[in-house]
Structure 1
């Protein structure tokens, strides 16, 4: 019986000691806490970047180039007529030889292989905010040029307007997380002193989010036709995100 009393007393002391230890508050004065936060805003896309292309192939290099030059001029005139405020820029003018496939070259000659044709092409980028008239513009120009790609996004004006909203949303999220962390640590949020605010994580507290660039898709050239039915487009929306890292210390 005395042995049972001894074990019971020892167990009681152990439980009491553990309870007292668990109730001892962890000292957090002077603790430095790094808090990441995020914010985002969404807005309907109000800008389109349309890439048009023309490509010609001919045994006569000059003839192929002439047709490309003529079609590009015609295409630009059509776009300007349909959308006078669009910003046009040409790029990627190329000329390269086309060689026969699968034909062995003569061994007795050191001369380079002779091309059987020449391929000439050029690209035209069209930046516009006239999304309502975009289908009509594309339909009109497709009789001359082919559509290489079409991307929707936000205009510079809209992006600047949304920047303030994005900062507000991000800073609000930072404050909310600081309050939650303070309460989880058993501290009053008013005891937290914001030491550093690092927008966009420039201090390398968080890794950059790397998004894969969309692959460029090359479309086959369309045969010329008198008219092309209007396509249907849905511009969608863009989400702008921002991150911030805050360093807080507790009094």
Structure 2
């Protein structure tokens, strides 16, 4: 099965190059910045393809580094060629089984529309690997097609789907990640191309006890209350 998947994405690489940066890619980088991506961060991107999202991340982390990994050798070769001028961006072929970077911990681990293409039976071990390469402030960012939307695509437009394209159960996904030492900070289903909300993203952070709490200012609480009252009046 691994060879079939790699072959599919080898053939898919040219299509990715032709498409270039699209609305989904821009949405992902925007949400990464909102999640706290900083110029000095060390980033691991899993399922990088030809590096379309990778190079956007690299441009936002000029003092850090980005490692993109993908199962497709042809995609990685295309990525290395396309983004060779970005010195903080590197690529390697990997399906994340046996992935080891001794002593390396990433600030962000990004999975941009890749989990739906990985057999669900492999998800838990993937997040075990991610956890081994995390520190106390690591963020795991996951972007996937909304399950209900993908179910519609399977029923009505299957020819547009990839070799493995499965709707992911939210509860099982969250369990696989949180059991490996992370907590869910945010999850949102939102629209990129369709009114029916076609994508979801999740922000997980490494689990650790809260050491102290900080009250919001009275002014910020008051402004929030006023804003809610204004909306209710409308």
**TM-score normalised by the chain length of structure 2:** 0.23
Higher-Rg structure is 1
**TM-score normalised by the chain length of structure 1:** 0.22
The structure showing larger relative contact order (alpha-carbon pairs under 8 Å, at least 6 residues apart) is 1
More helix by share: 2
More strand by share: 1
